[in-house]
Structures are given as C-alpha cells and as structure tokens.
Structure 1
Amino acid sequence: MLVKDRITAEAENLTASERKLAAAVLSDYPYAGLVSIQDLAAHAEVSAPSISRFVNKIGLAGYQEFQRALIAELKEGQRSPAEIHTGNRHVEGGYLGDFIARASAQMAVSSAAITEAQFGRICALLMDPKREIHILGGRVSDSIAFHLSFHLRQMRKGVYHLPANIETWPEYILRMKQDDVLFAVDFRRYQPSLLRLCEAAQAQKARVVLMTDKWLSPIARHAAEVLPVPIESGTLWDTYTPALAVIEAIATKIAEDNFDQTRARIKAWDAVRLTDEDRST
C-alpha cells in the first residue's frame, strides 16, 4: 500500500496534531517525508514523538521505514519497461482476452480514484471561456494529451497543444495569463522538461491540471488538480486505456453540457475544414 493510501485509510482515527502532520506530508508528497524528522516536525508544527506515533498508526515500524517506503515509491515511478517485465506472467485464456480484462479492471479502478466533484471542477475549468487552455504530455503520453486537445478545439477557441520542440515553449509560457490552464499528462519515467514547463506556468499564475499515475509525477507539487489514473497492466508496457477513458469522459461531458455552443463550433469548423480534395489541388 502506498504511504498516502495508508494515511487516507487512517484519516478518521487521527488526532488534531496528526491531521496537521498528514496535511503537511500530503501537500508536498512524497518529498515532505524525505527530510529529517526534526525538519518535518518544524514544518508541520508538531513534535518528533508525534511523528513517531503517527508513523506507527499508519502501520509502519518507525520513521526510517516511513522514509524507505517513500523512496521505494519514487523508484517505482522511474521504472522502465525493461525493469517492469517479469517474464512469467500467467495468462487467463487467450492473450487478447486476458489483456482486455486487465485493462477493464484498471478502468474500473480509475473511477474510484477520481471523485465526481473533482471531475466536475476540471470540466468547468476546461470549458470556461475566460481561460485559455494549454495542453501537453510526455514522450509517449502526449498521444493522450493530443486526444483531449483535438476534441476541445472543436468545442471552443483558445486551446493550444504545445509542440514537442521545447525551443517553442517560451511563446506559450509568455501567452499564459493568470488562471489560464495548463493540462499536463505525465506518467512514470517522468519527463523533467514537463516539470520545468509547469513550474514556469505556475510562475505565470496559470492553473496546472495534472494527469499522472499513483506514484505521482513531481509536477503534482505545482498542480491545482491531480488526476491519478491506474496504469499497471501486469505486462512490460503500462496501459493508457484508463487515461484515455477519463479523457473521453471529460470531452463528452463538456460537449454535452454545452451542446449548443459545441454544435455551432463544429459546424463552423467543418465549414472551413480542408478536405483531401482541397489539399491535392
């Protein structure tokens, strides 16, 4: 169990000082727990013995074990496909059916990891006409980001998918205004350039919305909203199926909640869209 899940599971049993400590740890997770016990005590304004009792309450033997668990989570977030592959996976029935069953199970988990309230807040942010929307993913996960940006561009103006070339990013960073949105998709083997982009966006007072995995991209430290989706498939490749399902749910809700505007935008889009015949002339 992840440390943050241990904390959540014990939330109702925590004392007032322990709740303060939990808030301090989760506000900068997992990095807040990687400092000395004295530094964490000073930051959370609790005593070192209170931290020891808190760590025991969430099922860990002591502060060293607490830190070892956090470090293990950080390492898990950096594992490559070569490290994930075990080579002895048991397949139930045919390979295709087994794979789809695993992906379907992870999709079911994703609906529990994201509350309806958070889902609604993010949809509202992305459809707010006062905000410009900037979207980008990592080396592989940008395919998920592109899926969102393509649909949003057909619903509203002011949506920008940042190109992969980081030399062009300053133009987009300088364009960002206070409360504009940067939607970032970053799964394990997190991309340092994306982290720097989100830091720059936050400095511009843009709101960062992050889609990531359960180990949490470092971008989470700068995000106003974090969408954690399961990615483990039990194979050497992580699965993006749950992430795509969440993206499609976001796009569909926005379109249906603003159908008149969406319909007008799509009609205008289609009226000026180049066809294959147009491009060949």
Structure 2
Amino acid sequence: MIRIKKEILDRMEELSPSERKVARALLADYPSSGLGSTGALARTAGTSAPTVLRLVTRLGIDNYAEFQKHLREEIMHDLNAPVRRAETGLRSESEPVASAVERSVAERRDLVGRLGTTLSGASIEKAARLLAGGPRSVLIAGGYYSRSIAEILVHQLDQIIPGVDFLGDPLGYDVGKFHGAKGNTVVVLFDLRRYEQQAAQVAALAKNEGASLIVVTDEGLSPISDRADVVLTAPVGGIPFDSFAALMALTEVLVEAVFRAAGQKGIDRMKFWEERSSLERSSHPGAQAPDTTEESS
C-alpha cells in the first residue's frame, strides 16, 4: 500500500515551489483535502489543477483517481483502531496459550528488529546533537499512552544533561515553559497513530516560539512530522494495543547517543546524581545506616 503522507514528506525537498504549495495544502487538512476534486485542492493551494496532477505523478501515481484510491486505503488502514484489531485477533485466535505466548514474543522481537530499517543513524545523531548541545531547556511531552515512555526519557536524560522537564499539561499549567523558547529550547513530542490534536497544537506552539522540534512517531508518520527538525520513527503493532517494544528500544538508543555526545559533562552529571541521591537516602528519617561490624568467626 502506498502511504500518501509518507511519500509527500519523503519527497518534499524534490518538489517545485508550486507543487510544494499543493503538498502543504494537502497535509494541512489531511486526508479530507485529497478526497475532493483537483480544482478544489488547487484553489485551496492557490495553484492550478495541472500542478495538482504533477504532484500526483511525482508520487509515482498514474492519475488522480488512483491517488484517491490509495488515499482511501490509507484511511481504512489508519481506522484500524485497537479495539477493531483486538476483535479480529480474538476471533482468529485458536492456538494454545503457550503457542500464543511464543508468537507474541516473536512479534515484539520482530518489531525491535525492524527498528533498524525505520530509524536512521543520521536522525539519531542530529537529535543527540540538539539535546547535548547545551539548550537552556529540553521539554518533553507524550500522548495518552506514550506519556509513560516520555517520562522515562525525561528521567534518564535528566541524569545526563541539565534543563530537562516533563510537560504534563503542555497547553495548560505548563504552557509558560514555552515562553521565550527561541533556539535555546528543544521540544520532544511523542505522537503515535490515532494521532492527537493536542500534539499538533503543541508542535505549532513550539515552532512559533522558535524551539527546535524532535518528533517521535510510528511508520504512519504523525501529521506534525512535517514541522519537525528531526523525526524518529519506530514500528508498532500487536494486540490488544500497539506494542511499545520498539519505541522503548528507540528511547534507549537516543539516550545512549545523547550520553556519548555529552561526553565528560554527562559523566560529571551522572556522578552528581549518584552522590546526591546516596546522600538523600542516608539522611532520610527512615533510613538505617549499614552495619559495618565484622561477623564473629
């Protein structure tokens, strides 16, 4: 299946200025804008119907009717929500429990293995340079489910670089953290399929304030990917919910890359964490001092 959105994002730099206008108009109201006529899309983009057709050809598609066919297939694929996938998996499942466990483990192992094809070394390197390059602050937010992975990233990065903060309510009580971001702030957003409107609003806020944006998403690519400075992609799948096996591996790969980019500063900060956390544990009212007496022989 041709994924129209991914093809557009992959080829954006190859497009002519007028074709890029059509592409951006399509992405701005995706996928609805692609389901109308060529004339309607051209008017929205401020170009012409022939320009729309040239973009379609650029995507390797013969005509507009075929383009819309691929678009509808993509929509149906994305509508394959967790509950529907769970129902399908349950109906088709007749294997013994032990076999189901083996298959489930193998599927998650495959997701981690595929990470090598969805995640480029260049994108990880660029993200690591941004994060370890001394930004004033690093703001990290996740979605309904992915916030748990976002919090893990916060806790680990905070022991390597300073200024890391979790956005629990990025459009509410945390919104002030974006003020004056400029180029001194890096925002990391997790946005996986069933992409959330809040992620688009946070991405727009980050870019409007001048922050650098790292988007962590799946192979379908979040709509905010076209606004990102770096896109990190992990494969997801499984039932009843998407597996985070590859996403967790991606997070660990990113943390290691930041650690290596930070160098001695990262080591010094880790030492501080170790010393400080040990001090707090030993001074806690409920803590007991270790027994240093020798055992009698």
TM-score, with structure 2 as normaliser: 0.77
Q: What's the CA shift string for 1:169-190, capped at 9, x where partnerless?
A: 2221225233511100011222
Instruction: State the AA in 2 paired with 1:261.
Output: K
Alignment of 1:173-188 (within 5 A): 173-174=178-179, 176-188=181-193
Q: Residue 243 of structure 2 aligns with which residue?
A: 239
Q: 1:275 aligns with which of 264, 281, 285?
A: 281
Q: 1:255 aligns with which of 240, 255, 259?
A: 259
What is the distance in 1 between the residues matched to 2:65 and 2:28?
14
Instruction: State the AA in 2 paired with 1:275.
Output: R
Q: 2:23 aligns with which of 17, 22, 25?
A: 25
What is the distance in 1 between the residues matched to 2:94 and 2:61?
32
Q: Residue 97 of structure 1 aligns with which residue?
A: 102
Alignment of 1:150-169 (within 5 A): 150-164=155-169, 166-169=171-174
Report deviation, 1:39: 5.4
Unmatched tracts of structure 1, length 5 or more: none
Report deviation, 1:136: 0.8
How many pairs does the alignment contain? 275
Q: Residue 295 of structure 2 aligns with which residue?
A: none
Q: Residue 69 of structure 1 aligns with which residue?
A: 70
Report deviation, 1:237: 1.2
Instruction: State the AA in 2 paired with 1:248.
Output: E
What is the distance in 2 between the residues matched to 1:29 and 1:141?
23
Report deviation, 1:168: 1.1
Q: What's the CA shift string for 1:121-152, capped at 9, x where partnerless?
A: 11111111134210010111011111211111
Unmatched tracts of structure 2, length 5 or more: 288-297
- Which structure's CA Rg is the greater one? 2
Alignment CA distance shift 1:159-1:51 (3 Å): same
Report deviation, 1:104: 1.8
Measured on the aligned residues, the alpha-carbon RMSD in Å equals 3.5
Alignment CA distance shift 1:94-1:28 (3 Å): same
1:55–1:66 CA contact under 8 A, matched in 2: yes
Q: SS of the counterpart of 1:178?
A: helix
What is the distance in 1 between the residues matched to 2:210 and 2:15?
32
What is the distance in 2 between the residues matched to 1:98 and 1:156?
39
TM-score, with structure 1 as normaliser: 0.80
